[in-house]
Amino acid sequence: MATSGITRSATVSETAVFEFLLRQGDNALVLGHRLSEWCGVGPALEEDIALANTALDLIGQAKMWLESAVGEIDDSRSANDLAYLRDAWDFRNLLLVEVPNGDFGQTLLREFFFDAFQLPWLNALSQSSNQRIADIAAKAFKEASYHLERSAETVIALGDGTEQSHQRMSRALDYLWPYTGEMFVDDAIDTHIESVGIAPLPSSMRQAWNQTVDSVLSQAQLARPQSTFAHSGGRTGFRHTEHLGHLLAQMQVLQRSYPGATW
């Protein structure tokens, strides 16, 4: 498994919390960025505004997670340095959140898959042995509850709506499904984090996620894909998609072009 430069010589237990926080922060950052791409071009003003609210919540969450990440390793970098000066291989987000938005339906289906994980996950994290993590999770949990309500309702409406919308949602489902499995893969970091009471194993979220997803997909008249194949490589940083590089090239352009400048 690949590790980033700074963690190469360290043991899992030394870097696990930092890596864990990066995973939380990078998911929120990359997904928040993707949603922000919709601002101004949504299908209706009301939807445009709603999506921006979710994006703002996620960017706020990213800031909190990344700030606590730098606090954890006691290094001189800031949350912004982490967001704007790391290369793709140092990002620890799920592949699910970095793939392109596609149409509005695909964007909301991705959001739904993520929210359906985040809700039980953040709920569990709010009981974390690490007080800072518990506090962030408690705040993010409230936001995620509304995100899930909204994304689930949209997925149901678009799956059930018209012939055309149903087809589009079926295609989005086929595309996104193989990216959902990565959420539940435990690795050495997760095992360590679980052993010290910071968070449960991601795999333990499977059941709750299945329940939410099955219920929503059936209301949306969408058939849950049979395949259990899962892409991976985002959470570990071993192999991101090609898309993340483009996303970062855009997001980081000013910080990279004018080293040392403040904004």
Partner 1 sequence: MYAQLVKSEASAEDPIRLAEFQARIDRGEKIEPKDWMPAGYRKTLIRQIGQHAHSEIVGQLPEGNWITRAPTLERKANLLAKVQDEAGHGLYLYCAAETLGVSRDELFEMLHNGKMKYSSIFNYPTLTWADMGAVGWLVDGAAIMNQVPLQRTSYGPYARAMVRICKEESFHQRQGYHLLLHMMKGSEAQQRMCQDALNRMWFPALMMFGPSDKDSVHSAQSMAWKIKMNTNDELRQKFVDETVRQAEFLGLQIPDDALRWNESTGHYDFSEPDWDEFHDVISGNGPCNHERLEARKSAWNDGAWVREARMAHAMKNSERRLAAAE
Partner 2 sequence: MAEDTSSPAAGNEWPLWEIFIRGQHGMSHRHVGSLHATDAEHAIKNARDVYTRRNEGVSIWVVPASQVSASSPSDKGPMFDPARDKVYRHPTFYELPDEAGKM
153 sits near partner 2 (criterion: CB under 8 A):
yes
Q: Please state, as a whole number, how many other Cβ atoms lie within 10 Å of the Cβ of residue 41.
A: 8
Q: Which of 80, 90, 135, 146 binds partner 2 (CB under 8 A)?
A: 146
Contact code string over 241-260 relative to partner 1, x by CB under 8 A: ---------xx-xxx--x-x
C-beta of 94 vs 158, nearer to partner 2:
158
Whole-number Cα distances in Å, 40 to 48, 107, 113, 154: 7, 15, 24, 19
1 sits near partner 1 (criterion: CB under 8 A):
no
Q: Residue 17 has which token pair?
A: 């919390």
Indicate the length of the chain as a whole number: 263
Cα–Cα distance measured from residue 148 to residue 246, given in angstroms and rounded to the nearest whole number? 28
CB proximity list for 250: less than 8 A, separation 6 or greater: none
At 135, is the secondary structure helix, strand, or coil?
Answer: helix
Q: Which does 37 bind (CB under 5 to 8 A by kind): partner 2, partner 1, none?
A: partner 1
CB 126 → partner 1: shortest distance, Å?
A: 23
C-beta of 128 vs 154, nearer to partner 1:
154
55 sits near partner 1 (criterion: CB under 8 A):
yes
CA dihedral 232, 236, 238, 240 (to 10 degrees): 60
C-beta of 25 vs 202, nearer to partner 1:
25
Q: Cα(first)–Cα(last) distance of the chain, in Å? A: 36
208 sits near partner 1 (criterion: CB under 8 A):
no
Q: Which does 149 bind (CB under 5 to 8 A by kind): partner 2, partner 1, none?
A: partner 2
90 sits near partner 1 (criterion: CB under 8 A):
no
